[in-house]
Amino acid sequence: MQSSNPVLGRAFGNGKRGYAAFDPSSTTQADSSQLEDLYNAPAASSLRMGRMTIDDVVTRTGILFAVLVVTGAGAWTLNFGGGALMVGLLGGFVLAMVNSFSKTVRPALVIAYAAFQGVALGTLSHIYNDAFPGIVSQAVIATLCAFAGMLFAYRSGRIRVTPKFTRVMLGSLIGYLILSVVTIFTGFPAGGLGLLIAVAGVGLASFFLVLDFDQIEKGIAAGAPEQESWRASFGLMVTVVWLYLEVLRLLSILRSND
């Protein structure tokens, strides 16, 4: 088979399977134009090498958020109410579990997750905006600012992902999940305690973005398959959606106290 790599193509494309053809006289026959063509050949892309790149992750993430925004805008406009919210939440949860624990990356299911999350967020955002006009635009801006801030902190080295940092984040997440389950049955605390928990939720979600950035960078450095860019984009979307919901809750508490 002819290799797409220009060097390997010359080595294995001369009718001798498994071995590079070597002709001692070839060293005197090679002309400057052939060498120039070799060195001017474009670098191997993720499509040619089958490896994940940052461009792959950015592109897939853009696709997922485009699907989320379109379905979210539709849910906001149509305003189906509680039924659509439950469908979006349950569908998103099921697909999140499938995509998280599946060994095979399934882009269709990742995109479906973004669609269900769009329905849930569009409906929920409409409910919040009815109660607190303008809160959604504030939450979107705050989420984007937090994302940009954490990306800058990670890229500049101000926040470094160490084993200790990872353990602290995972331990905090477990504690926060337990607290979230408790509040389902007892209600979210009011007053100063409720505000403190909401601030902690925003902070925890923000720092988990750093873990996502680190995992993406490590995957690229390790030569992860190109398909894994879908999984990386999915993980990033889960964290951003979580951050948006925490910001939305925090803003609603602050505005309720006005």
Mean pLDDT, rounded, for 147-158: 93
Query: Helical H runs in the chain?
Result: 6-12, 26-29, 32-40, 46-49, 54-78, 82-101, 107-131, 135-155, 163-186, 191-221, 228-256
The amino acid at residue 41 is A
Q: Exposure pattern of 29-39 as b/e (b: 16+ CB <10 Å)?
A: eeeeeeeeeee
pLDDT of residue 190: 64
Name the residue with tokens 């997750």.
113
CA distances from 47 to 5, 9, 44, 136 (A): 12, 17, 8, 38
The amino acid at residue 94 is V
Q: Is the pLDDT of residue 8 over 70?
A: no
Tokens of 25: 């006289």
Q: Using the 8-state DSSP alphabet, how is residue 181 labeled?
A: H
pLDDT of residue 49: 60
Mean pLDDT, rounded, for 238-251: 94
CA nearest neighbour of 124 among 167, 99, 175, 88: 88
Name the residue with tokens 């389950």.
181
**Who wins on pLDDT, 33 or 187?**
187
pLDDT of residue 37: 52
Mean pLDDT, rounded, for 232-244: 95
Can you tell me the distance from the alpha carbon of 109 to that of 120, in angstroms, rounded to the nearest whole number? 16
Q: Is the pLDDT of residue 229 over 50?
A: yes
C-beta neighbour count of 46 within 10 angstroms: 17
Mean pLDDT, rounded, for 206-218: 94
Per-residue pLDDT band at 26 (split at 50, 70, 90)? very low
**Who wins on pLDDT, 181 or 201?**
201
Say what percent of the chain tops pLDDT 90: 62
Mean pLDDT, rounded, for 191-195: 77
Q: Is the pLDDT of residue 154 over 60?
A: yes
> Which residues have a Cβ under 8 Å from the Cβ of 21 and sit 6 or more positions away?
11, 14, 15
Least confident of 49-53, 96-100, 248-252: 49-53
The conformational region for residue 196 under phi > 0 = left, psi -120 to 50 = alpha, else beta, is alpha
Is the CB of residue 202 less than 8 Å from the CB of residue 82?
A: no
Least confident of 46-50, 99-103, 123-127, 238-242: 46-50
- Checking 188-194 for CB contacts under 8 A at 24+ apart, the result is 188/249, 194/253
